[in-house]
Amino acid sequence: MTQTYQVAAIIDLFLDDLWSVQGLSDNTLSAYKTDLRQFDQYIQQQDVDIINANAEQIRCYLSERVEQGMAKTSYARMLSSLRRFYGYLLISHRINIDPTALIDSPKMSRHLPNSLSEADIERLLAAPNYDDPVEQRDKAMLELLYATGLRVSELVGLTMEQMSLRQGLVRIVGKGGKERLVPLGEVAISEVEQYLRQARPMLLGNKMSDVVFPSKRGQMMTRQTFWYRIKHYALLANIKGELSPHTLRHAFATHLLNHGADLRVVQLLLGHSDLSTTQIYTHVAKARLQELHQQHHPRG
């Protein structure tokens, strides 16, 4: 059996490889590390370590976790962690056979993302009060979020050099370090310009910052803080539907498709590396087509 400190070192090398080559987030790397350590602790009880585990031992472990109530999503992530790890071991010639190669992934039901109607969005965007610098900032952030479909983490981390209001573009470095250019739209440009002239200097005071939307302390806002602000305005706007940090991102994609946008264009704007991730929104386009058919076809 490989010594414990060697196993820990190999896991760390694997995580370093994921970070440097694939640019995975700290949260994802932490989840992978937890998954691998938990399996290693389990398998060591059988006088084997994670590096020398076989397919049957992995299946038994996953089955036990399912019996203990592990959700399908957690199962899928655990299996993904193990697959990536053993793939790394295979490429680095530490093992000769990938024990996860013949283990089936769970069949996942794809839940449709929560979205908002266009009327809901209008009420949400009208909720902030222009007389308050913080709320004027929030108004610009909401308009920009809805106009671009950015992730909340991308929005709060946005810097001045990433944005060109003259060209009407924002340059985003998304997951995996992939860069994309996203158009802003006239309304968002107008709101951001007004915010930069009026509210941002008041929020910064004498502080210097390259962050487009600083907090009242002049620092980069956290995702949690902005999510709290969204929920505040949703309450003011009397929006009853369930919200998530991605709600405006989903609304962006849904409303684009409703108005005839091509799915691949939406994929590029959202920064999805795989079209299958974007295809969850095709239910919207299908529903829109059915509606148009019923309205305009003589036999509809």
Residues carrying an active site annotation: 151, 175, 246, 249, 272, 281
- What CA–CA distance (Å, rounded) separates 230 from 245? 8
| Among candidate residues 206, 175, 188, 202, the one with its CA nearest the CA of residue 26 | 175
Q: Closest Cα to residue 7, out of 57, 51, 58?
A: 51
Is the dihedral angle over the CA atoms 59, 60, 65, 68 positive or is it negative? Answer: positive
Whats the size of the chain, residue-wise? 300
Contact 216, 134 (CB under 8 A): yes
CA distances from 20 to 13, 132, 153, 177 (A): 10, 42, 20, 10
- 284: helix, strand or coil: helix
Among candidate residues 250, 300, 239, 242, the one with its CA nearest the CA of residue 280: 250
Task: Tell me the residue ranges of DSSP E strands in 106-223.
Answer: 163-164, 169-173, 179-183
